[in-house]
C-alpha cells in the first residue's frame, strides 16, 4: 500500500476493476511516490497486475487515469473532506458584503515596515495614520505704496445777489470754469459790472466749489518676506504606516460561513510579528461585530496651502487745498477776491456789490494723497489626509492606530 495526496485538479470517481471506493488521481513521483495525503494507491503507474488500473486482464480500459497519475482510493472517513481541500491557514468569519476578503495587516513605524510574509506575499494596500501637521505656513507681510493722486481744481463758481451764498430767494449767476480746467487764468462765464438780478446786484457774494482729490489707488508690495523663502515648505508626516498582505486563493473552510486566510505569524517562531487578520473598506466605516477592532488609514495628504495675494484697500485720508482768485478784468491782473479752499468744504465769501467778475485762476497749495491699508498676505488653504480606508480586525491591536 502506498500513501499519496488527493489533488483537487484530478478529482474523479474510480469504476470497474478499481474497486467501489471513491478514487482520486494523484501526482506520482518516481523517487518518492505520491504526495502525502492518506489515500490508498492500487498500483503505481508502471504496474501491470491483473485486475488493477493500467494493466492486466480485464482492468485497463475500465479506469480513467491521466498521464503521470495513478488512482488512489480514499478509505471511508465518514464523509471527511480530503486533506488537500481543507484550509491550511485559519478559518475566520466571512467578510460582510462590500468588504474585502481578510488579509494580514501590519501597523507600525515608517522605519520598520516589514516585507510581506511568505504565506501572504502580495502587498494589497499601503496607507498611513496619525498625521502630524507642520508648522503654520509662513507668508510675507504686505504693504502699499502711496497712492497716485492729483488735486482736481474747482470748476463750479457762482455769484449770488445776497450773502450768505445760496439763500432760498437769492438769484445765482454762473461764473463757472470750463470742464477739465487746469486752473490757469480763464475769462469763461465772465459777469459784467453792475449786472442786475431780480432788482438786486447779481454779484454780492462768491461761492467756489471745494477741490477734490482724485486717486488712482495704491500699488501693493511685500514689506517683509519669510525667512529662507527658497526652502521647501514642510508637509507634515505620518507616525504610522499600514501594510496589508494577501496570498493566493485558498481552499474553502468546512463551515460555509467561514473563509480561509493565511494564519497571522505569532510568537518568536514566525517573524515578523504584529500582523493582524483584517477586512478592508474604502472610506470611513463602522466595523462589523465579527471584526470589531477599527483602524483608519489614508493614502496621503492634500496640500492646498498658500498665501492670499497682497492688495490694497481704497485710499483714505487724502486732502488737498488750492488758492482760488477772482479778478475784475479778463487777464487775471485786477484782484477782486482770493481764498485758500480745502477739499473738506466749499467756500463762500463776500465781494464788493456789483463788482465785475472778469477772470479767475486756481493754484494747488498742498496735496496729501492719503494712504491705503494693505490686505492679503494671510495663510489660506489647508493640509489634510486624503482617501480614507477602514480596516476592521479580528482582535485588538497591540500597536497604536
pLDDT at 227: 64
CA-based max dimension of the chain: 156
SS3 category, 288: coil
pLDDT at 265: 54
Say which residue the cell 497591540 belongs to. Answer: 398
- Cβ atoms of residues 384 and 92 within 8 Å: no
Any idea how long the chain is?
401
159-198 pLDDT, tens digit each: 999 888 877 777 899 999 999 999 999 999 999 999 999 8
Handedness of CA 342, 348, 350, 351 (dihedral sign): positive
- Cβ atoms of residues 34 and 83 within 8 Å: no
Give the angle subtended at the CA of 17 by the CAs of 11 and 18, to the nearest 5°. Answer: 30
293-338 pLDDT, tens digit each: 999 999 988 888 888 999 999 999 999 999 999 999 999 999 999 9
E-strand stretches of 268-399: 275-282, 293-303, 306-307, 311-312, 319-327, 335-342, 347-350, 359-368, 374-375, 379-380, 383-393
78-109 pLDDT, tens digit each: 344 444 467 777 788 999 999 999 989 999 88
For residue 4, is pLDDT > 50?
no
Q: b or e along 231-258 (b: 16 or more beta carbons within 10 Å of the residue's beta carbon)?
A: eeeeeeebebbbbbbbbeebbebeeeee
- Cβ atoms of residues 293 and 283 within 8 Å: no
The helix/strand count (H/E) of the chain reads as 0, 29
Alpha-carbon gap, residue 23 to 72, rounded angstroms: 5
Share of the chain residues as helix, strand and coil, in percent rounded to the nearest 5: 5, 40, 55
pLDDT at 64: 38
Identify which has the larger pLDDT, 197 or 41.
197
Provide, rounded to the nearest whole percent, the portion of the chain with pLDDT above 70: 72
Cell output for 398: 497591540
SS3 category, 294: strand
Alpha-carbon gap, residue 12 to 249, rounded angstroms: 22
pLDDT at 273: 62
338-394 pLDDT, tens digit each: 999 999 888 899 999 999 999 999 999 999 999 999 999 888 888 889 999 999 998
Say which residue the cell 488500473 belongs to. Answer: 53
pLDDT at 323: 96
Provide, rounded to the nearest whole percent, the portion of the chain with pLDDT above 90: 43
For residue 71, is pLDDT > 70?
no
Identify which has the larger pLDDT, 220 or 69.
220
pLDDT at 395: 67
Q: b or e along 42-62 (b: 16 or more beta carbons within 10 Å of the residue's beta carbon)?
A: bbbbeeeeebbbbbeeebeee
Alpha-carbon gap, residue 50 to 41, rounded angstroms: 15
Cell output for 104: 494580514
pLDDT at 366: 95
pLDDT at 228: 62
CA neighbours closer than 13 Å in the CB half-sphere of residue 215: 22
pLDDT at 232: 59
Which of 66, 302, 321 lies closest to 208 in space, CA to CA?
Answer: 321
pLDDT band of residue 37 (cuts 50, 70, 90) is: very low
- Cβ atoms of residues 207 and 167 within 8 Å: no
pLDDT at 8: 27
pLDDT at 233: 65
Q: What is the mean pLDDT of residues 146-157?
A: 93
For residue 76, is pLDDT > 50?
no
SS3 category, 207: strand
Per-residue HEC secondary structure of 352-364 comes to: CCCCCECEEEEEE
- Cβ atoms of residues 135 and 234 within 8 Å: yes
Which of 211, 207, 161, 188 lies closest to 362 in space, CA to CA?
Answer: 211
Mean pLDDT over each residue of the chain, to the nearest integer:
76
45-60 pLDDT, tens digit each: 444 444 444 444 444 4
Amino acid at each position: 500500500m502506498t500513501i499519496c495526496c488527493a489533488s483537487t485538479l484530478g478529482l474523479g470517481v474510480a469504476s470497474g476493476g478499481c474497486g467501489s471506493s471513491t478514487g482520486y488521481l494523484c501526482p506520482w513521483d518516481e523517487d518518492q511516490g505520491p504526495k502525502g495525503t492518506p489515500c490508498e494507491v492500487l498500483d503505481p503507474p508502471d504496474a501491470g497486475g491483473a485486475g488493477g488500473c493500467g494493466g492486466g486482464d480485464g482492468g485497463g480500459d475500465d479506469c480513467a487515469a491521466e498521464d503521470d497519475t495513478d488512482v488512489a482510493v480514499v478509505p471511508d472517513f465518514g464523509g471527511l473532506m480530503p486533506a488537500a481541500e481543507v484550509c491550511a491557514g485559519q478559518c475566520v468569519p466571512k467578510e460582510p458584503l462590500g468588504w474585502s476578503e481578510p488579509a494580514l495587516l501590519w501597523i507600525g513605524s515608517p522605519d520598520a515596515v516589514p516585507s510581506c510574509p511568505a504565506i501572504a506575499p502580495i502587498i494589497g494596500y499601503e496607507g498611513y495614520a496619525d498625521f502630524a501637521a507642520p508648522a503654520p505656513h509662513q507668508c510675507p507681510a504686505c504693504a502699499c505704496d502711496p497712492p497716485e493722486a492729483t488735486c482736481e481744481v474747482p470748476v463750479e463758481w457762482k455769484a449770488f445777489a445776497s450773502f450768505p451764498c445760496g439763500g432760498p430767494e437769492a438769484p445765482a449767476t454762473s461764473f463757472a470754469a470750463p470742464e477739465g480746467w487746469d486752473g490757469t487764468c480763464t475769462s469763461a462765464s465772465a459777469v459784467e459790472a453792475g449786472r442786475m438780478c431780480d432788482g438786486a446786484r447779481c454779484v454780492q457774494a462768491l461761492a467756489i466749489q471745494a477741490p477734490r482729490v482724485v486717486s488712482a489707488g495704491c500699488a501693493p508690495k511685500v514689506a517683509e518676506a519669510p525667512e529662507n523663502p527658497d526652502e521647501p515648505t514642510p508637509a507634515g508626516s505620518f507616525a504610522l504606516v499600514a501594510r496589508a498582505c494577501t496570498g493566493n486563493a485558498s481552499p474553502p473552510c468546512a463551515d460555509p460561513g467561514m473563509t480561509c486566510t493565511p494564519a497571522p505569524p505569532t510568537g518568536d517562531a514566525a517573524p515578523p510579528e504584529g500582523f493582524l487578520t483584517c477586512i478592508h473598506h474604502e472610506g470611513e466605516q463602522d466595523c462589523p461585530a465579527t471584526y470589531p477592532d477599527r483602524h483608519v488609514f489614508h493614502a496621503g495628504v492634500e496640500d492646498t496651502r498658500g498665501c492670499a495675494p497682497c492688495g490694497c484697500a481704497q485710499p483714505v485720508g487724502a486732502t488737498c487745498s488750492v488758492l482760488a482768485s477772482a479778478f475784475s478784468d479778463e487777464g487775471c491782473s485786477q484782484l477782486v477776491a482770493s481764498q485758500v479752499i480745502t477739499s473738506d468744504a466749499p467756500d463762500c465769501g463776500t465781494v464788493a456789490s456789483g463788482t465785475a467778475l472778469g477772470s479767475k485762476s486756481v493754484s494747488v497749495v498742498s496735496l496729501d494723497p492719503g494712504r491705503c491699508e494693505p490686505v492679503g498676505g494671510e495663510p489660506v488653504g489647508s493640509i489634510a489626509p486624503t482617501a480614507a480606508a477602514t480596516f476592521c480586525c479580528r482582535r485588538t491591536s497591540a500597536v497604536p492606530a
